[in-house]
Amino acid sequence: MIGRSTNAIAAPARARSLSAALAAGAGVGLLGGLIGLGGAEFRLPLLIGLFGFAALQAVIMNKAMSLIVVVTALPARLVAVPFDTVSGYWFVVVNLLAGSLIGAWIGATWATRVRSATLYRVLAVLLVLIAIALAWNHFGDLNSLVLDPVARTLLGLAAGAGIGIVAALMGVAGGELLIPTIVLLFAVDIKIAGSLALAISLPTMLVAFARYSRDRSFEVLRANKGFVLAMAAGSIIGTVLGGLALGAVPESVLIPLLVALLLVSSVKVWRHD
């Protein structure tokens, strides 16, 4: 493997109190909840910049916390959009999942082998991609594409693979990419698309998590178990509060601020040693 010394599990010197982890997680969850997401895209820069984890460590921890948040979000989502409402869209889930599972394994494998400096720069670019997706989701045109079944299936496989790679590399669920993809390719209502995205992201995250578990950097979870649980708990609390306050801040103000935050974070991650 290449350049693994900087990606290993050695703990950085920065203080990581459980209260700080809880507060940071709550802030991240609140931001995500205000726009209907889990907030993992905002948590990753904090793990690197504020708490001093190396790139691969931060990705693995973000993946673990994202998995916890997604699992806890499933019951609430099923109440809002019952299973029988989304079961008729099984073909969407199967199509995208076929690509995303492969992509998740590829992305996680690459992340464990690449040099740490390269991974920082890749993460910075992906933060910019998420910022663009976030702006497009809320201000862009999401009219579905007119495609024949074969082209739609092939595009679904390709899109699923790309999303799986991104989700594995960043440790996120990938909803900010899955939802517009489902709407564009399959002409699904955006509310139902959110539930379908959860059905796709959960097994995709499990595959990436399983791949990361084979790498020695996975030990960062055991070494920081309390930190992970505290930040995940904060994220869940913040997500619930953000969901309750959904619409309290106008999107015309909130989304540009969040996009700017992601762009600033991308610059800081790019410049990380």
Mean pLDDT of all residues in the chain? 86
Of the two residues 198 and 8, the one the predictor is more confident about is 198
CA 114 to CA 56: how far, in whole Å?
Answer: 10
Predicted local distance difference test score (pLDDT) of residue 80: 64
Long-range contacts of 220-224 (CB under 8 A, 24+ apart): 220/9, 220/53, 220/57, 220/60, 220/61, 221/60, 221/61, 221/64, 223/9, 223/11, 224/11, 224/16, 224/61
**pLDDT of the residue at 162:** 96
Q: Which of 22 and 137 is assigned the larger pLDDT?
A: 22
**Predicted local distance difference test score (pLDDT) of residue 81:** 64
- The tens digit of pLDDT for each residue in 202-212 reads 999 999 999 99
| Residue 108: per-residue pLDDT | 96
The answer to whether the beta carbons of residues 207 and 101 sit under 8 Å apart is yes
Question: Which pLDDT belongs to residue 83?
Answer: 67
Binning pLDDT at 50, 70 and 90, where does residue 11 land? very low
pLDDT in tens, 62-113: 999 999 988 887 776 666 666 677 778 999 999 999 999 999 999 999 999 9
Look at residue 122 in the predicted model and tell me its pLDDT: 96
Task: Return d(Cα 111, Cα 22) in angstroms, integer.
Answer: 27
pLDDT tens profile 150-178: 999 999 999 999 999 999 999 998 888 99
Q: Which residue has the higher pLDDT, 230 or 74?
A: 230
For 143-147, what is the mean pLDDT? 79
For 179-196, what is the mean pLDDT?
Answer: 87
Token pair 């960062």 is at which residue?
Answer: 220
Q: Which of 176, 172, 177, 242 is nearest to 204 (CA)?
A: 172
pLDDT of residue 194: 81
Residues 12 and 82: their CA atoms lie apart, in Å, by: 45
User: 7-11, 61-65, 195-199: lowest mean pLDDT where?
Assistant: 7-11
pLDDT confidence bin for 252, thresholds 50/70/90: confident
**Greater pLDDT, 8 or 213:** 213
Percent of the chain with pLDDT over 90: 57
Q: What is the pLDDT of residue 2?
A: 40
**Better pLDDT: 273 or 56:** 56
Instruction: Report the percent of the chain where pLDDT is more than 70.
Output: 89
Yes or no: say if 204 and 174 are a contact pair by the CB < 8 Å rule.
yes
- Are the CB atoms for 9 and 217 separated by under 8 Å? yes
